[in-house]
Structure 1
């Protein structure tokens, strides 16, 4: 049991030793181009985006069964540790380093944050310290693989999950971030508009989720009536996500300016509209208005407005929220009839929400949208949806297969029966479960 973690521990020690050879110096503290107002706002926004990941852990943790709550929450929480080091060592360079073909950055440009200091960067961070820009982008990189975890909740092996999110971050997230947000990125040169991550974050997570559900297969309990462990957890998680999303969207303006104010407004209005649309559609379909429905609807609205936040009017954001909620609700219904076990509906909510947001950004974007008589942006957005979907699904499927060859990603039936909290982490929410019982259950699950 201990030996299987030796390579990971050795890699961490090697990373720590290599970091000592960082030749960077602390410079740029007196850069006259730095705006105090922009810097203050971006410091706050960066903290807000980080808060979204613990919020997501509560959002997902409240939805699963009691025996999988800790495991589900930890899968989100651990991303704050592992993706941070991936981002510092090479991820930021792959995303924002010198462009190689418009697809990814040179991995050596900013390796170990070399050259990422307190001064501005004229192209990427013209009014704030470059290191603050790098940290803000880090929080996006953290939450994206965390979003995927909802698709394979209650049946994934923790060590396999860790390997997959590293592969996903390096070879899927970072190239998408480069293509979309780097000045020389492929999608950026096509003038595809993605204000805060409709493609980079939500579509990528959604299509990866479908790949995960296909590879890992159904839970033993799939099709059995499922009762969420703690709906108040879901409501709490939604509140934290909504609050943090102001940093996510308004922070993507990279300054304390009118674009940030517009994004702040469209974000909250779209989420409010989507929440109401979801619960009222449920009511029309004969279902009860519920805390789960209100929470999911609000998050779908946040997802859908993300690519459009700084490009559309407040009235248009209402339409985007309502449209996304109804479409996602319908997709959830039909997904449940397919037999695909996307546990927490990551694709119907994040994938479809991102798709709707990207398409409607092409419709409503100020001056270049379809409603203003322009077709170019709309058509390029349609093309980007197919490109990003194929790229993300294809590579995610391949990386799940590869990971499965190295570390079987599906836990045993016995482990699934006992729950991942006990079998993966030796922890339990049940006060009646003794240490001896936990030890026996772990042993039985490992022997199967």
Structure 2
């Protein structure tokens, strides 16, 4: 029997039957955390639209599909054992145990994240973080991966990569948490882990057909989707960072304002760096910079003041912009620059958090006490953040590579598509559905087969432009 009552103000009162200790849950804190859950949820399809817009149209629908597929797979994994492996209050400094297998006992008890909310509220909120992280990594598969095996990959990756890193970062038993690393909303568990995984994925898959020689064919097919996805992500990030206070308080408000400020400065910085080369104002550049700013401010959002947020945005917009050139230097094909934006952005955020974290800002919630970072003359903080960042990069990269090669030798789970499928597109080969109706109608109107039409159009964009010009001239007559 659940021992729950309500006091005169409507707060939930629960008494621990073992210790007799009384816990009071404020409905406002619960409401804010649940609202933040919904905000983070909308980020996942938003990420799908962002990725989809950056790809060619023949792969546009597959990335949006993968965003909702990831939510479903991780929701089951989180219920099955993900939450227990990450947040059980027993287990090692690296991974939890199966105490809460199948969410057994996850309801009214105080959460391990905060005694101000019950564990069931904390569980659903953290599920959204667990779901968006593999979706970030999936950007590395863009244009050249079968969709079926990705169901297995998401389940395995969530279990073997995300859960341990989140455990050591946020679980009070975790080694990084115990040593006092500051990661308010997921610099290492979310961004460094997913970005490093995307690098491993890019290296495993190899380059796309024609990469480096067909520049026009690899331009974003729908910039509107990119902007729409950025809006969803930016909107949801208020719940991602602000909600991580797990309470409706001043710390949540501070996290929200620095989040918005870092995104704004990051977007402007990246766009200006691009302008110096092209002498054009790039919507894609602004959106990329805004995402980089959001990534960088994530670990420090509950620890730094507003002036520091300007530096977070500027440094992320600058460093992540230049980091996109790493793929040309080292010869890998990271189709959506996930490593440059998320792994590098997460490292930038971790380092800056160690430098600018303030005990006074963390104390805005009325109960958090920390020694602060370099701004508070706590010098050892930087060493812990460097160690945490290096551990996140190396563990995620190594484990992702192992998962990919194990799947490579299991019948039916090999991910890389053959060249013929890559030419036709993942939407046609693996889905038989398309992002736009007119793509499917086009062959009928022209009297040619769909496959030959797509192959010709995607491999020879110049010929397509001539055809369009010719059609336009004919219609004028």
Give the match for residue 267 of structure 1: 259
Aligned residue for 2:25, secondary structure, equals coil
What is the distance in 2 between the residues matched to 1:176 and 1:265? 27
* Offset of residue 432 of structure 1: 2.1
Equivalent residue in structure 2 for 1:341, among 317, 333, 337: 333
1:128-147 matches, within 5 Å, as 128-147=117-136
Q: Counterpart in 1 of 2:466?
A: none
Range moving further from structure 2, 409-418 or 93-102: 93-102
Equivalent of residue 204 in structure 1, options 181, 190, 193: 193
What does residue 113 of structure 1 align with? 103
Q: Which residue matches 2:461?
A: none
Give unmatched runs, 5+ long, in structure 2.
Answer: 7-11, 14-23, 360-371, 454-477
Counterpart in the other structure of 1:360: 352
Cα distance change, pair 83–287 in 1 and its aligned pair in 2 (3 A): farther
Of 303, 316, 325, which aligns to 1:324?
316
Q: CA deviation at 1:433?
A: 5.5
The change in CA–CA distance for 1:150 and 1:122 in structure 2 (over 3 A counts) is closer
- Aligned match of 2:68 in 52, 58, 77? 77
CA–CA separation in structure 1 for the residues paired with 2:286 and 2:319: 15
Q: Kindly state the Cα deviation for residue 255 of structure 1 after the two structures are TM-superposed.
A: 0.4
**1:14-46 Cα shifts (integer Å, max 9, x gaps):** xxxxxxxxxxx7764654111011011111100
Change (3 A) 1:433 1:200: same
Unaligned runs of 5+ in 1: 1-24, 442-448
Are 1:57 and 2:48 counterparts?
yes
Which residue number in structure 2 is paired with residue 401 of structure 1? 405
Counterpart secondary structure, 2:409 = helix
Q: How much does 1:229 deviate?
A: 1.1
Separation in structure 1 between the aligned mates of residue 392 and residue 115 of structure 2, nearest angstrom: 29
Contact kept? 2:424, 2:451, Cα under 8 Å:
no
Correspondence 1:432 to 2:457: no
Is 1:369 matched up with 2:373?
Answer: yes
- 2:387 matched to 1:378? no
The secondary structure found in structure 2 opposite 1:222 is coil
Check if 1:233 corresponds to 2:225: yes
Q: In 1, distance between residues paired with 2:83 and 2:150?
A: 21
1:46 — aligned with what? 37
Deviation at 1:283, TM superposition (A): 1.6
Q: 2:20 corresponds to which residue? A: none
1:421 aligns with 2:427: yes
What secondary structure is seen at the aligned counterpart in 2 of 1:78? helix
The number of equivalent residue pairs is 416
Deviation sequence 1:323-380 (CA, Å, 0-9, x none): 0110000110232343211110000001100010001101101142123322111111
Distance 1:219 1:439 in 2: 19
Partner Cα distance (1:283, 1:416) in 2: 33
> In structure 1, how many angstroms separate the alpha carbons of the residues matched to 2:136 and 2:379?
32
Structure-2 residue corresponding to 1:221: 210
Q: TM-score, normalized by length of structure 2?
A: 0.84
Contact 1:57 1:74 in 2 (8 A): yes
Q: Is the 8 A contact 2:89 2:112 kept in 1?
A: no
How many angstroms apart in 2 are the aligned matches of 1:285 and 1:293?
12
3-state secondary structure, aligned to 2:247: coil
Task: State the structure with more CA Rg.
Answer: 2
Q: What is the TM-score when the length of structure 1 is the normalising length?
A: 0.89
Q: Whole-Å Cα distance in 1 between the matches of residues 242 and 357 of structure 2?
A: 16
Which is worse superposed, 173-182 or 98-107? 98-107
Q: Give CA-to-partner distance per residue, 1:214-237, whole Å, 9 cap, x none.
A: 000010031121221100000000
Residues 76 and 147 in structure 1, CA contact (< 8 A), matched pair in contact too: no
Distance 1:434 1:307, change over 3 A: same
Match of 2:143 among 132, 144, 154: 154
Taking the aligned partners of 1:228 and 1:251, their CA distance within structure 2 comes to 32
How far apart are the structure 1 equivalents of 2:279 and 2:205?
30
Distance, in Å, in 1 between the alignment partners of 2:227 and 2:297 is 20
Structure-1 separation of matches of 2:94 and 2:424: 44
1:293 to 246, 267, 285: 285
